[in-house]
Amino acid sequence: MTIRVVLADDQPLVRSGLRVLMADHPDLEVVGEAATGAEAVRLVTDVAPHVVVMDIRMPGMDGIEATRLITDGPATTRVLILTTFDEDEHVYGALRAGASGFVVKDMALDDLLTAVRVVAAGDALIAPGVTRRLIADFIGRPEAGPDCSPRPVEGITDREREVLTLVGRGRSNTEIAEDLFITVATAKSHVSRLLSKLGARDRVQLVITAYERGLVAPPHAGRPRNP
């Protein structure tokens, strides 16, 4: 499958660089460019991309609001956020808006392409030191709101609760399989069932759920609460 990508960044050089980079990979096709969040939202309707690579800071409608409109709409387009380490406050909003992953602008180009493919495949990018740190800090904030109070996870089995806890800790399917002494295929099946049962869009939302339910404690907190 050719992955259809929209590049949303207010810097033409960034968009041009990404377009040239993706042109060398036959499984990736840039089908549109946007300099504002509003343009990105319109392009999703017009060209139906699989992934929008979205900058946060853009004039007019920013990347957070654009992400919210895209993920709340009927399209199945996923959003991969472009960020820098000094933009944590903005990334917290992007998490809630439904972003499926995060890439740092100065990361290795091959890693960026991998992130696009991961998000397009319906998974989410849980990058140690970036996404996991941001989620942990965000969920642990008092101002995060009442949704962050721990509560039981209803409708899932004990094994699925174990898997959800490990997803919240940033474990891959392979690592989950090793931790629980099950096959990778079984771990993947558990994750798929969790996505369905919890109505989660992707793995990022499962991580958030694990923190919200108290299965995983933020790094500055004490031990995880009982579900």
CATH code, domain with 29:
3.40.50.2300
Same domain for 58 and 118, yes or no, is yes
Q: Looking at the whole model, is its pTM more than 0.75? A: no
Do 117 and 168 lie in one domain? The reply is: no
Q: What is the pLDDT of residues 207-227, one digit of tens each?
A: 878 877 888 765 554 444 444
CATH number at residue 177: 1.10.10.10
Overall number of domains in the chain: 2
- pLDDT of the residue at 197: 93
Q: Are residues 172 and 60 in the same domain?
A: no
How many whole angstroms separate alpha carbon 68 and alpha carbon 79?
Answer: 10
User: Is residue 222 included in any domain, yes or no?
Assistant: no
Per-residue CA distances from 195 to 76, 93, 134, 175, 190 (Å): 15, 21, 21, 18, 9
pLDDT of residue 132: 56
- 113 and 27 in a single domain? The answer is yes
The domain boundary, picked from 125, 140, 166, lies at 125
pLDDT in tens, 119-161: 888 766 655 455 555 565 655 555 444 444 445 788 999 999 9
**Structural domain boundaries enclosing 104:** 3-125
Q: Is residue 224 part of a domain?
A: no
100 and 63 housed in the same domain: yes
Tell me the mean pLDDT in the region 109-115.
86
What ranges make up the beta strands (E) of 63-206? 78-83, 101-104
